[in-house]
Amino acid sequence: MIRRRGAALALLLALATVATRVEAQDTRRSGFMFMSPGTQAMQRDDMENPGMLAVLDGAELWAKPAGTSGRSCADCHGGGAEAMRGVAARYPAFDATRGEAIDLAGRILQCRAERQGDAPPPRESRTLLALTAFVAHRARGMPVAPDADPRMTPVVEAGRALWHKRLGQLDLSCAQCHDDNAGQKLASAPIPEAHPTGYPIYRLEWQTTGSLQRRIRGCLTGVRAEPFAYGADEYIALEAFLMERARGMEIETPGVRP
């Protein structure tokens, strides 16, 4: 009897240890984990991944002189395999000159205008998406590592507030779906946890590559809210919050999503 009780106690202890260990595990899941095996295979294979087209276009643009400076991105940042390695993992970052947070695409636009002396391409243009995809791809496999500048804290907090703000005629916040109901199905589609680790993504629904801002606009339209304009501070704050939330997760660019 005593021996049996002892065994039961040992079993309980063992179970408790396992439970604690499970709890300590990282339970965050990339949108990749919510996809069908076919779409996952498409992302994994660079020859099949349609997002690689933007990355390859970006590589070409990277080496091409632009603007009145006659310089290419590579002239300053280098063109080798190590150029821009891991840089995208820390964006959005604090831009000390402007005194505000800037996202990766915004930084590229800034370089185009101020350093290369070229008319900056519009947000969501093929050129900007390609260059962004090229740089973000150079961080593939690396952990999300947000900018440690303390001036990013209020930006992240603004993003967090927006994440929890109910919007639109349907009166829903991002958190109500992507925190509270991730994994549930909205009609046929599983709701992912909204980690921005694969952007710019190739979205099958779009039949093209698009930015996180475009993706967020999709949700805003879905809840019948008025989307923010491309490049708006709100998107940059949301992205800063989401990157903080995804800290340590692996960059997957170019992600493929349904």
**Least distance to another protein, CB of residue 12, Å:** 30
Query: Could you say which of 86, 143, 168, 231 contacts another protein (CB under 8 A)?
Result: 168
Q: Is 217 helix (H, G, I), strand (E, B) or coil?
A: helix
**Least distance to another protein, CB of residue 11, Å:** 32
Phi, psi of 51 (to 5 degrees): -65, -20
* Pairwise CA distance, residues 202 & 38, whole Å: 14
To 10 degrees, what angle do helices 212-222 and 233-245 make?
100
Question: 173 to 212, contacts with another protein by CB under 8 A?
Answer: 176-177, 180-181, 184-188, 191
Query: Could you say which of 170, 205, 229, 247 contacts another protein (CB under 8 A)?
Result: 170
**Least distance to another protein, CB of residue 48, Å:** 26
Active site residue 73: no
Q: Which is nearer to another protein, 234 or 252 (CB)?
A: 234
Q: How many residues of this chain bind another protein (CB under 8 A)?
A: 24
Query: Could you say which of 70, 224, 232, 247 contacts another protein (CB under 8 A)?
Result: 224
CB 90 within 8 A of CB 136: no
Query: Could you say which of 33, 165, 206, 248 contacts another protein (CB under 8 A)?
Result: 165
**Least distance to another protein, CB of residue 130, Å:** 30
164 belongs to the binding site for another protein (CB under 8 A): no
**Least distance to another protein, CB of residue 123, Å:** 20
Marked catalytic residue, from 73, 174, 177, 219? 219
Site string for another protein, 100-139 (x = CB under 8 A): ----------------------------------------
C-alpha separations of 79 from 64, 133, 140 in Å:
11, 15, 17
CB atoms within 10 A of CB 95: 16
Q: Which is nearer to another protein, 112 or 217 (CB)?
A: 217
* Pairwise CA distance, residues 50 & 39, whole Å: 11
**Which structure tokens are listed for 201?**
């993504």
Q: Which single residue is written with the structure tokens 């991944």? A: 49
Give Cβ neighbours of residue 88 (< 8 Å, ≥ 6 apart): 104, 135, 136, 138, 139, 251, 253
Q: Which is nearer to another protein, 87 or 167 (CB)?
A: 167
- On the 0-12 / 13-18 / 19+ scale of CB atoms within 10 A, 228 is middle
* Pairwise CA distance, residues 247 & 148, whole Å: 12
Q: Which is nearer to another protein, 146 or 227 (CB)?
A: 227
- Annotated catalytic residues are 219
Interface positions with another protein (CB under 8 A)? 165-172, 176-177, 180-181, 184-188, 191, 220-221, 224-227
